[in-house]
Structure 1
Amino acid sequence: MKLTKFSEHIYYMEHDPETDRPTLGYVKGEKGSFMMDAGNSAAHYHHFIEKLEENNLPRPRYLSLTHSHWDHSFGLWATEAATIAGGKTNKELEKMSHWSWDDESMEKRLETGEDTEFSDEHIRKEYSHRSDIKVKAAEISFNGSMTIDLGDVTCILREIVSPHCRDSVVFIIPQDGVIFLGDSYCSVPKGEVWVYDKVLLMAYIDELAKIDFRLALKGHHPPQTKEEILAELKAEWKKL
């Protein structure tokens, strides 16, 4: 996957559906750089770092997560950057750090609903040796919002209500008019289908509409303008 320059300060590597590798983002500032999401494995994280080095971009000084789901967080242990997550995300990661990854444990989590068949399938694809899975919480946690000052550009980390999970955080880069959504816009898997909660979806649409941005980077889909993503989400709401 290639690294694409998205705006004056922002780069991203697009998602890869084969093993559910999401979009990873990067903000370059005068006082350091900020990586958005850690990837679904150390291999995914290091692939992104290789792309940065190929483009003469420094390794991130900070790395933050949009939420705790495995595909966005399991690469966290591999970074040397200062790591940041919302308080809810860190609680989930702490719980997951005690999970075992043998077949019996994974099957039991499917039975209890702690995990989904979609995640189970792609974890098995990404990890040929599940003993390589390491889950850790971020070093720094916040509640509500937090701002990272990179000199000529700032990154606003903000918790947001989401139809996808209870610990969603978005990253707003006001100087570039960009928002990094992670999976906050997504529905959730229910067996073979993906389903939105109508109340949470409308709350998300209302909150997203109030945020000032022009362009959105999405965790598992191509970028969109603000108008495009709001229209798409409203169309989904009308179907419910």
Structure 2
Amino acid sequence: MRWNPLTEHVFYTENDPETDRPCIGYVKGEKAALLMDAGNSPAHGALLQEGLREAGLPLPQYIALTHAHWDHTYGLCSWEGVSLAGEKTNEILGKMKEWQWDDASMKRRIETGEDSAFCDIHIRKEYPDRGQIRVEQAKLSFAGQLRIDLGGVTVVLKEVVSPHAGDCVVFFVPEDGLLFLGDAYCSVPVGEDWVYDKELLGRFLAELEQMEFAIAVKGHHPPQGKAELIAELKAEYQAL
């Protein structure tokens, strides 16, 4: 799996919609490296690690999660190092650890709204053997904001209000003017449609406009400049 250089310190992989593998980020400092999201399965994690070795990049000492959704977290079990998540994310992962993966349980979670048909379809594709699913919580959790010094470059983990989920965290790399969004910019699946909550999108937009970044790395789309991202989301807001 190819790690694309984006800035002096930051690399990323492209998303793969076939099994809903998101873009993963990587920040390399002089003292340590940090992975932005863990992948959606051990198989995904193994490919990411192989790509790092091929690129001559060290495995990360830190693995940080943007939110609890399966495609960003179920690969956590394949990584060593210190894992980090917001308190809300870790609480959700604790509940997911108790989930059963037989057909009846998966169907019931769709009916109750705990999960979506979109996720169900892609989990089945990623995991032909659902007995291989292993959910882990992060080793450390935080509330509000956390700053990590990697040596010559820092990563700021910040909880934000998002239209996508109630536990979203974005990662800011101030030295490079880069913001890793995960899925914080996304809408949510409702039946066969993807729908924004207008109030939450407006609050997220207000936060974004106050952040000083030049490049935004999106979980399921190519990176964008700040102006382009803001314009895109404002168009979505005005259409609601």
* Superposition TM-score, scaled by structure 1 size: 0.99
Q: Which residue of structure 2 aligns with residue 218 of structure 1?
A: 218
1: CA distance, partners of 2:193 / 2:133:
27
Letter in 2 for 1:206: A
Q: Which residue of structure 1 aligns with residue 19 of structure 2?
A: 19
1: CA distance, partners of 2:106 / 2:201:
30
2: CA distance, partners of 1:113 / 1:57:
40
Q: Which residue of structure 2 aligns with residue 201 of structure 1?
A: 201
Q: Deviations over 1:79-119 (max 9, x none)?
A: 10100000000000000000000111101111111100000
Q: Which residue of structure 2 aligns with residue 228 of structure 1?
A: 228
Q: Which residue of structure 1 aligns with residue 136 of structure 2?
A: 136
Q: Deviations over 1:10-40 (max 9, x none)?
A: 0000100000000000000001100000000
1: CA distance, partners of 2:42 / 2:177:
30
Q: Does 1:29 align with 2:39?
A: no
Q: Deviations over 1:95-151 (max 9, x none)?
A: 000000011110111111110000000000000100000001100000000011011
2: CA distance, partners of 1:178 / 1:55:
21
Indicate the SS of the match to 1:106.
helix
**Identical aligned residues as a percent:** 57
Q: Does 1:150 align with 2:150?
A: yes
- Aligned-pair CA distance for 1:78: 1.2
Q: How many residues align?
A: 240
1: CA distance, partners of 2:81 / 2:46:
13
Q: Which residue of structure 1 aligns with residue 48 of structure 2?
A: 48
1: CA distance, partners of 2:108 / 2:32:
43
Letter in 1 for 2:63: L
Letter in 2 for 1:13: T
Letter in 2 for 1:14: E
2: CA distance, partners of 1:213 / 1:28:
18
Indicate the SS of the match to 1:181.
strand
Q: Does 1:184 align with 2:202?
A: no
- Aligned-pair CA distance for 1:77: 1.2
Letter in 2 for 1:176: D
Pairwise CA RMSD of aligned residues? Answer: 0.5
Indicate the SS of the match to 2:182.
coil
Q: Deviations over 1:165-191 (max 9, x none)?
A: 000000000000000000000000000
**Please, which runs of 5 or more residues in structure 2 have no aligned partner?**
none
Q: Does 1:80 align with 2:80?
A: yes
Q: Deviations over 1:196-231 (max 9, x none)?
A: 000000000000110110000000000000000000
- Aligned-pair CA distance for 1:2: 2.0
**Match runs of 1:167-182 below 5 Å:** 167-182=167-182
**Please, which runs of 5 or more residues in structure 1 have no aligned partner?**
none
After the TM superposition, which segments of 4 or more aligned residues of structure 1 sit over 6 Å from their partners?
none
Indicate the SS of the match to 1:156.
strand
* Superposition TM-score, scaled by structure 2 size: 0.99
1: CA distance, partners of 2:163 / 2:194:
11
- Aligned-pair CA distance for 1:60: 0.2
2: CA distance, partners of 1:40 / 1:182:
13
2: CA distance, partners of 1:46 / 1:59:
11
1: CA distance, partners of 2:232 / 2:70:
26
